[in-house]
Amino acid sequence: MSHWKETAEILTRVAELSAAGRRAALATVVRISGSAYRRPGARFLIEETGETLGSVSGGCLEADVREVAKDVMATGRPTLRHYSTGADEDVVWGLGLGCNGLVDVFIQPATEGSLAAAAGRLRELLEGDSPFAIATVLGSGEISLREPPHGVTDSEVFVDVLTPPPHLVVCGAGDDARPLVAYAADAGFRVTLVDHRPAFLDPFWFPQATRLIAARAEESEIPLPPAGRSLAVVKTHSLNHDREWVRRLLAAGLPYVGVLGPRERTAAILREIGFPGDRRVYGPVGLDLGADGPRQVAMSIVAELLAFTARREPRHLCERQEAIHAV
């Protein structure tokens, strides 16, 4: 989910740099083994001024990648870099970090060549709502949006499948919705904010929202995102409005409906609308983090949303025996 947002932001910046006649290089994680901070498909843009966007690690690889990117920008030739984050300094490009991981990073020109030529079409795809794949030849940097280019089947190809992020429908645009919309959008969700009070839907307060919709749950036509790919959080602070939004969202088939407020309140709503004990409803919404105040509550809600979309049972990472990024 984060790769979609990261890639969109990077390609937007690449377009700006290209228009200004400035150079940049793009580093992409193409393979990992063992412990690694980012998954394959993570991207890191390095501009000729030294400014960057994105990341390929938690900060341990970026300094070397910047140096390699300078050569890539100067020569126009892409390169595949192999990093070892183990304790053995003798391994190729060993960093001696003791993290026991291997990371391959492909670094290519971003404002010229195959990537620059495909950037416009990629931005169009990222504005849509359908999955797609990017095939990159590790060597030439040649890119295809469907399948590996003809005549390169003997070369190693990195195929990155980008799946559009889920939508989050937030019902209720009160003050406490601001951090929730901001954090959820930053995490990669496409946020639709709905409220029956048009004055509350000020873009100034919700710049990260994809859409702002003035509507009541009872209205027949509301341009909500596809139910099967949407999650929702109901928080209008009105029992009547919350009840009608929960009714509509469950009837539409959303797999997750979070409801702000006490457990007894949510249970009463479900009984009244004929969905008693519906397991799609999470109320009180959010993980038990001891949250206090709108910002911390928003963090607990987004944490639960991420766990739900990843199909993970929330727990401490130190308790997890398998690799963090294991499928």
194 falls within a domain: yes
The contacts of residue 78 (CB under 8 Å, 6+ apart) are 72, 106, 107, 108, 109, 139, 140, 141
Other CB atoms within 10 Å distance of the CB of residue 292: 8
Overall domain count for the chain:
2
Residue 91 has pLDDT above 80, yes or no: no
Q: CA-CA distance, 109 to 129, in Å (whole number)? A: 27
The contacts of residue 110 (CB under 8 Å, 6+ apart) are 14, 17, 23, 24, 25, 26, 45, 116
User: Tell me: the pLDDT tens digits for 235-250?
Assistant: 999 999 999 999 999 9
Do 2 and 187 form a contact (C-beta atoms < 8 A)? yes
What's the pLDDT at 321? 74
| CATH code assigned at 221 | 3.40.50.720
Shared domain check, 279 and 185: yes
The contacts of residue 325 (CB under 8 Å, 6+ apart) are 32, 36, 39
User: Tell me: the pLDDT tens digits for 111-169?
Assistant: 999 999 999 999 999 999 999 999 999 987 788 776 555 544 656 899 999 999 999 99
The contacts of residue 180 (CB under 8 Å, 6+ apart) are 170, 233, 235, 294, 297, 298, 301, 302
Residue 256 has pLDDT above 90, yes or no: yes
Final residue of a domain: which of 117, 147, 162?
162
User: Tell me: the pLDDT tens digits for 178-207?
Assistant: 999 999 999 999 999 999 999 999 999 999
Shared domain check, 153 and 226: no
Q: CA-CA distance, 258 to 280, in Å (whole number)? A: 8
Shared domain check, 187 and 148: no
Proportion of the chain above pLDDT 70, given as a percent: 91
pTM for the whole structure? 0.86
Q: CA-CA distance, 192 to 172, in Å (whole number)? A: 11
322 falls within a domain: no
Which residue did the predictor score with more confidence, 149 or 279?
279
Shared domain check, 300 and 181: yes
Q: Taking Cα atoms as reference points, which of 196, 219, 192 lies closest to residue 208?
A: 192
User: Tell me: the pLDDT tens digits for 204-218?
Assistant: 999 999 999 999 999
Instruction: Give residue 115's domain range.
Output: 2-162
Lowest mean pLDDT among 214-218, 253-257, 312-316: 312-316
Kindly state the average pLDDT of the residues 253-274.
97
Kindly state the average pLDDT of the residues 76-95.
71
Shared domain check, 232 and 294: yes
What string of DSSP letters covers 241-294?
HHHHHHHHHHHHT-S-EEE-S-HHHHHHHHHHHT-TT-TTEESS-S--S---SH
Residue 65 has pLDDT above 90, yes or no: yes
Taking all residues of the chain, what is their mean pLDDT, rounded to a whole number? 90
**Any idea of the CA torsion for 27, 32, 36, 40, to the nearest 10 degrees?**
50
Q: Where are the alpha helices (DSSP H) in the chain?
A: 2-19, 62-75, 113-127, 177-187, 239-252, 263-273, 294-310
Shared domain check, 195 and 89: no
Proportion of the chain above pLDDT 90, given as a percent: 80
11 falls within a domain: yes
Shared domain check, 259 and 142: no
Shared domain check, 116 and 68: yes
Shared domain check, 140 and 8: yes
Shared domain check, 158 and 10: yes
Burial class (CB in 10 A: 0-12, 13-18, 19+), 73: buried
325 falls within a domain: no
319 falls within a domain: no
Shared domain check, 146 and 8: yes
Shared domain check, 186 and 142: no
Q: CA-CA distance, 212 to 192, in Å (whole number)? A: 6
